Amino acid sequence: MKKTHLNPLKLLIPIFCAAVALYSQAQETDWSKELQKADGKTLRVIMIQDPWVKGFDTIDKEFQKLTGAEVVVDSYSYDDLHQKEVLMGNNKSDSYDVVVLDSPWVGEFQQGGYVENLKPSLEKDAKIVQWDDFVATFRQVADWKGSIIGVPFGAYFVLFNYRADLFKEAGLSPAKTIEDLKTAAKTFTNNPKFPGGYGIGMNNQRGSAVGQAYFEYIYNFGGKPFASMYPGSADPYADMTPQFTSPQSIEVVQFFKDLLQNEPPGALNMAWDQRANAFATGRLSMACLWSVREPLLEDPSRSKVNGKFGTSVFPTKEGTKPVPPLGGWVMGINTASKQKDLAWDYIKWFTSPETHKKFVLLGGPPSRISTMQDPDVLKKSPWIQTVFESQSQTFADCRPRIPESFQIIDKVGLHVSEALQGQVSIEAAMKQANEEIGALLKKAGYKVSDTP
């Protein structure tokens, strides 16, 4: 099973693959019974261009061996992917059979009728899919108004990353609370023992960067963006009265603002990539990063901090239950596809426990509990232990999954950015956010009361 692959970074992978394959041979599903033959067919998958995409090349060859179908994966950047998928769905085009959705897109796609309801297929192939093995909240994400529109194959979590070596030297333990985080950030800025380094890097760039950051922290400050949107709520969308002027909300933005002094120059325009690179090149003592970047931190050609960093659960305010941010991708079927059976075969095979493990070992995001606790996996990527600790505390609607989600996050992103820049006061910015988003939601038909 050893394959030659032009990938100098992962010389260990073929070995692992072989080991895994041999190990799981005994428990492997008899795929020849489960998958239909599809010789000469081409299955087209549209995918997000995230670091683990390379793994598809290796894995999909197996599918071709099993079914005879060639799998073609086209990946695009986040915005482009979204637009192409919407255009495709809107025009009932069959350019791609398998689509992937980010959690906020779920409502939009279900409402537009762009993706199939997979419930019947899931029930039919329950034994292979092992639905309950997926992260509970992420299963919820794929569920919208009674339809399950995707298999949650790529769960992302924001993990608190910190320089274990520096923290040890300073005698600090990884920040569990926001207060700890603030202390640590202050400690490591302008610290002669950490020359050229800064405490922390945050997503402050206007738009979805800082907008999403808001939604990452608000629950961890004991707040909620909308009246009925909080972990444990029966229906998060029942009452969408915006709460951006609440004391907790103001506190979050104030927190962002205060941290600026412990961030590197350019902090106001910093987004995911710069933040991660700053941490990877050793300039930051901590950064909250999406778990998808962890493999990059372990890669010596892209990171200086391999072996020096640790991960822990997302920090929360003292006395508040942690709500680690959840994101990631579900895999669904284009309603206009003419190869739905083949598409389902692919999905159930790709997301099955055996294949998922192979995928994770190639750098893919772990989304199954069994995979997260697999010793091989944990040995290779110890940070997955933090993922496991985080997943049970996540909130499926930490970012709204309604079609208006983009606008909401973007508007928050605009006003928070203005507040951080100092162009307006935090209170004024949040008040405007409240008004604009309230108006937007009211127009879209949600319940919005005039008093928060």
Partner 1 sequence: MIAADTRISESEVVMARSLGKFLARKSDISLGFLPGFDFGWRRFFRHPATPFLLPAVIYLFALTIYPFFYSLGTSLLNFSLTSPRPPTFAGLSNYKNLFLDDLFFTALLNTGLITVASVVIEFIIGFSIAHLFIAIADIRASHLLRTVFILPMMVTPVVVGLLWSYILDPLFGIMNFLLSLVGIPAQPWFSDANTALWAIVFVNVWQWSPFLMLICLAALVSIPRDLYEAARIDGARWYQIVMRIELPLVRNTVLVGIIFRIIDNFRMFDIVFASTRGGPGRSTEVISLYAYRQIFQYFNAGYGAAAAVVVLLIAMIITTVAAKLLQSEAYHA
Partner 2 sequence: MRKKSLRKALLFIFAAILTLLNIAPLLWVALSSFKTRLEIFSSPPSLFPEKWQVQNYIDLINVNLPYLLNSIIVTLLSTLGVLLLSVPAAFGLTAFTFPKKRDLEMWFLSGRMMPPVAAAIPFYLTLRQVGLIDTHIGLILLYVGIGIPLAVWLITSFMRSIHPAIYEAARIDGCKWRDIFLRITIPLSSGGIATATIFITIFAWNELLLPLFLTNRFAKTFPVVLTSFQGQTEIAWELMCAGATIQVLPVIVLTFFVQKYIVSGLTLGSVK
Could you list the residues that contact partner 2 (CB under 8 A)? Answer: 6, 8, 44, 48-51, 72, 74-80, 83-84, 87, 91, 93, 95-96, 196, 208, 272-273, 276-277, 280-281, 283, 290, 292-293, 296, 300-304
With CB under 5 to 8 Å by kind, the binding choice for 113 among partner 1, partner 2, none is partner 1
Tokens of residue 317, six digits: 């305010």
CB-wise, 161 or 204, nearer to partner 1? 204
425 interacts with partner 1 by CB under 8 A: no
Q: Which of 102, 108, 125, 374 binds partner 1 (CB under 8 A)?
A: 108
With CB under 5 to 8 Å by kind, the binding choice for 6 among partner 1, partner 2, none is partner 2
| Helical segments of 3-52, H only | 12-25, 31-34
With CB under 5 to 8 Å by kind, the binding choice for 49 among partner 2, partner 1, none is partner 2
49 interacts with partner 1 by CB under 8 A: no
CB-wise, 40 or 300, nearer to partner 2? 300
Tokens of residue 149, six digits: 């529109």
With CB under 5 to 8 Å by kind, the binding choice for 293 among partner 2, partner 1, none is partner 2
449 interacts with partner 1 by CB under 8 A: no
Shortest distance in whole angstroms from residue 390 CB to partner 2: 17
Which of 347, 359, 345, 343 minimizes the C-alpha distance to 31? 345
Shortest distance in whole angstroms from residue 82 CB to partner 1: 8
Q: Which of 79, 169, 318, 341 binds partner 1 (CB under 8 A)?
A: 79
With CB under 5 to 8 Å by kind, the binding choice for 254 among partner 1, partner 2, none is none
Q: Which of 93, 111, 190, 425 binds partner 1 (CB under 8 A)?
A: 111
3-state helix, strand, coil in the chain (%, to 5): 50, 15, 35
Give the Cα separation of 6 and 8 in Å (integer).
Answer: 6
With CB under 5 to 8 Å by kind, the binding choice for 132 among partner 2, partner 1, none is none
Which residue matches tokens 């061996």? 65
CB-wise, 222 or 325, nearer to partner 2? 325
SS3 annotation, 131-157: HHHECHHHHHHCEECCEECCEEEEEEE
3 state DSSP class of 234 = coil
406 interacts with partner 1 by CB under 8 A: yes
Size of the site for partner 1 (CB under 8 A): 38
Shortest distance in whole angstroms from residue 27 CB to partner 1: 42
What's the Cα-to-Cα distance from 232 to each of 370, 397, 416, rounded to whole Å? 25, 10, 27
With CB under 5 to 8 Å by kind, the binding choice for 266 among partner 1, partner 2, none is partner 1
82 interacts with partner 1 by CB under 8 A: yes
Which of 91, 92, 90, 60 minimizes the C-alpha distance to 75? 60
Burial (CB count <10 Å: 0-12, 13-18, 19+), residue 449: exposed
Give the Cα separation of 429 and 331 in Å (integer).
Answer: 37
Q: Which of 46, 209, 276, 280 binds partner 1 (CB under 8 A)?
A: 209
CB-wise, 170 or 268, nearer to partner 1? 268
Footprint of partner 1 on 282-341 (CB under 8 A) = 283
CB-wise, 131 or 237, nearer to partner 1? 237
Strands 309-312 and 151-163: antiparallel
343 interacts with partner 1 by CB under 8 A: no
Footprint of partner 1 on 260-279 (CB under 8 A) = 264-270, 274, 277-278
What's the Cα-to-Cα distance from 73 to each of 51, 60, 67, 389, rounded to whole Å? 14, 9, 17, 32
86 interacts with partner 1 by CB under 8 A: yes
Burial (CB count <10 Å: 0-12, 13-18, 19+), residue 385: middle
421 interacts with partner 1 by CB under 8 A: yes
Shortest distance in whole angstroms from residue 79 CB to partner 1: 7
Planar angle of CA 212, 217, 218, nearest 5 degrees: 100
CB-wise, 135 or 200, nearer to partner 1? 200
| Cα 368 from chain centre | 14
Give the Cα separation of 377 and 360 in Å (integer).
Answer: 7
191 interacts with partner 1 by CB under 8 A: no
Residues at the interface with partner 1 (CB under 8 A): 79, 82-83, 86-87, 89-90, 108-109, 111-113, 205-207, 209, 264-270, 274, 277-278, 281, 283, 403, 406-407, 410, 414, 417-418, 420-421, 423
